[in-house]
């Protein structure tokens, strides 16, 4: 049996606003002792039928992503969540999380992202909850989370060694099973069912060049998997495609200010026919097309 620790804290602890689906603060704030753990405890206490359930956990790869996932898994083990699904490297976009929740019939998903805000130790970090339908938690649940966060005097955690998230596998911990999965395949397969990749590929290879800016955030691996591996486009069709803890100093907000290089390629130099960029967790985008 893995030992569960009960950690006592002072309450109220968090400065989350009622009615919000997540908590977004500076990275340094989330580095404070107990801060993340208390919010996760409040989330788990607000979900019904937790025992016997499945929970998805992943993030956009910003600073602190893996460390936060480890703590969340340890808290889930303490609460006897039946299955926790984590993608390889802890990388999962918000749209892919939504799909995975529905596919696995999960009770919900915890997404680690501060969306379009900059990352790194001097940037921002965030936690948000999506529920069983794949969408953001509604106000009735977020209000429960807020009330729980204000009343908590302790949280439960099982401080055990977890496997390396760079390898696939299934790992049992008492009543909880941790699954480390391929976070790309399910989502790209879904896209392939919705869209005709062969037809799109033929069109793009003829006379309609494409450039995609992932802004060194989570959508880079998805873009390379879909555009390069599945559609057969050149690898240079994806800019800034490697997720980095600080987004390589970029601000992952896809607009004309922060994606100015992409905009210049499309709107001024007219180097490509079509371009797009995504934010940190892949649920906000900008599209540019040459007239």
Average pLDDT value for residue range 122-139: 95
Same domain flag for 107 and 34: yes
| Three-class DSSP category at 12 | coil
Please report the sign of the dihedral spanned by the C-alpha atoms of residue 236, residue 242, residue 243, residue 248: negative
User: What is the pLDDT confidence band of residue 18, given thresholds at 50, 70 and 90?
Assistant: low
Average pLDDT value for residue range 101-127: 96
Residues annotated as catalytic (active site), given as ranges: 115
Percent pLDDT > 70 in the chain is 96
Give the total residue count for the chain: 291
Q: Is the peptide bond before 284 cis (omega within 30 degrees of 0)?
A: no
User: What is the pLDDT confidence band of residue 247, given thresholds at 50, 70 and 90?
Assistant: very high
User: What is the pLDDT confidence band of residue 20, given thresholds at 50, 70 and 90?
Assistant: low
Same domain flag for 114 and 63: yes
Please report the sign of the dihedral spanned by the C-alpha atoms of residue 160, residue 165, residue 166, residue 172: positive
Instruction: Count CA within 13 A, CB hemisphere, residue 178.
Output: 30
pLDDT at 59: 97
pLDDT at 94: 96
Q: Is the pLDDT of residue 169 over 90?
A: yes
Same domain flag for 11 and 67: yes
Rounded Cα–Cα distance for residues 207 and 205 (Å): 6
Which is more confident, 59 or 21?
59
Average pLDDT value for residue range 216-242: 97
User: What is the pLDDT confidence band of residue 87, given thresholds at 50, 70 and 90?
Assistant: very high
Same domain flag for 175 and 206: no
Same domain flag for 96 and 145: yes
Which of residues 182, 203, 236 is at a domain's end?
182
Rounded Cα–Cα distance for residues 264 and 127 (Å): 33
φ/ψ of 140, rounded to 5, equals -60, -35
Prediction pTM value: 0.93
pLDDT at 51: 84
| Three-class DSSP category at 158 | coil
The token duo for 244 is 């980095």
Rounded Cα–Cα distance for residues 98 and 58 (Å): 11
Q: Is the pLDDT of residue 14 over 90?
A: no
The token duo for 258 is 């922060």
pLDDT at 275: 96
Same domain flag for 94 and 178: yes
Which is more confident, 7 or 58?
58
pLDDT at 86: 98
The token duo for 106 is 């999960």
The token duo for 70 is 């480890």
Total domain count for the chain?
2
Average per-residue pLDDT in the chain? 93
Pick the closest to residue 56 from 4, 113, 94, 2 (CA basis): 94
CATH number at residue 57: 3.40.120.10
Rounded Cα–Cα distance for residues 119 and 60 (Å): 10
Q: Is the pLDDT of residue 181 over 90?
A: yes
Same domain flag for 69 and 130: yes
Q: What HEC string does 136-182 produce?
A: ECCHHHHHHHHHHHHHCCEEEECCCCCCCCCCCEEEEECCEEEEEEC
User: What is the pLDDT confidence band of residue 150, given thresholds at 50, 70 and 90?
Assistant: confident
Average pLDDT value for residue range 129-137: 95
**Contact criterion met (CB below 8 Å) for 9 and 131:** no
The domain in which residue 265 lies consists of 188-289
**Contact criterion met (CB below 8 Å) for 80 and 174:** yes
Same domain flag for 128 and 236: no
User: What is the pLDDT confidence band of residue 1, given thresholds at 50, 70 and 90?
Assistant: low
Which of residues 152, 182, 212 is at a domain's end?
182
* Burial class for 245, CB neighbours closer than 10 Å (0-12, 13-18, 19+): middle
**Contact criterion met (CB below 8 Å) for 7 and 34:** yes
Same domain flag for 142 and 57: yes
Same domain flag for 27 and 122: yes
Q: How many CB atoms lie within 10 A of CB 160?
A: 15
pLDDT at 12: 58
Q: How many CB atoms lie within 10 A of CB 185?
A: 11
pLDDT at 149: 86
Which of residues 182, 205, 221 is at a domain's end?
182
Q: What is the pLDDT of residues 272-287, one digit of tens each?
A: 999 999 999 999 999 9
pLDDT at 191: 96
φ/ψ of 87, rounded to 5, equals -75, 155
Q: What is the pLDDT of residues 43-81, one digit of tens each?
A: 999 998 888 999 999 999 999 999 999 999 999 999 999
SS3 content of the chain, % helix, strand, coil (to 5): 35, 25, 40
Percent pLDDT > 90 in the chain is 82
Same domain flag for 229 and 138: no
Same domain flag for 36 and 160: yes
């Amino acid at each position: 049996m893995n030992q569960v620790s009960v950690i006592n804290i002072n309450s109220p602890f968090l400065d989350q606003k009622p009615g919000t689906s997540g908590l977004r603060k500076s990275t340094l704030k989330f580095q404070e002792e107990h801060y993340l753990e208390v919010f996760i405890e409040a989330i788990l206490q607000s979900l019904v039928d937790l025992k016997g359930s499945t929970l998805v956990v992943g993030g956009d790869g910003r600073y602190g992503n893996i460390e936060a996932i480890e703590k969340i898994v340890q808290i889930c083990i303490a609460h006897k969540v039946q299955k926790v699904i984590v993608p390889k490297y802890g990388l999962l976009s918000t749209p892919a999380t939504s799909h995975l929740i529905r596919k696995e019939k999960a009770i919900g998903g915890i997404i680690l992202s501060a969306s379009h805000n900059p990352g790194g130790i001097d940037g921002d970090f965030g936690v948000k909850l999506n529920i069983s339908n794949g969408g953001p938690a509604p106000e009735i649940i977020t209000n429960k989370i807020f009330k729980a966060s204000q009343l908590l005097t302790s949280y439960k955690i099982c401080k055990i060694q977890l496997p390396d998230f760079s390898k696939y596998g299934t790992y049992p911990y008492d009543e909880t099973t941790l699954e480390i999965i391929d976070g790309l395949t399910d989502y790209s397969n879904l896209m392939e069912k919705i869209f005709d990749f062969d037809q799109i590929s033929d069109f793009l290879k003829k006379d309609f060049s494409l450039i995609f800016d992932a802004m060194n955030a989570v959508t880079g691996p998805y873009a390379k998997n879909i555009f390069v591996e599945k559609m057969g486009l050149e690898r240079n069709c994806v800019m800034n495609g490697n997720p980095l803890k600080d987004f390589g100093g970029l601000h992952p907000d896809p607009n004309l200010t922060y994606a100015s290089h992409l905009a210049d390629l499309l709107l001024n130099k007219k180097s490509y026919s079509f371009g797009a960029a995504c934010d940190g967790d892949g649920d906000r985008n900008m599209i540019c097309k040459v007239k």
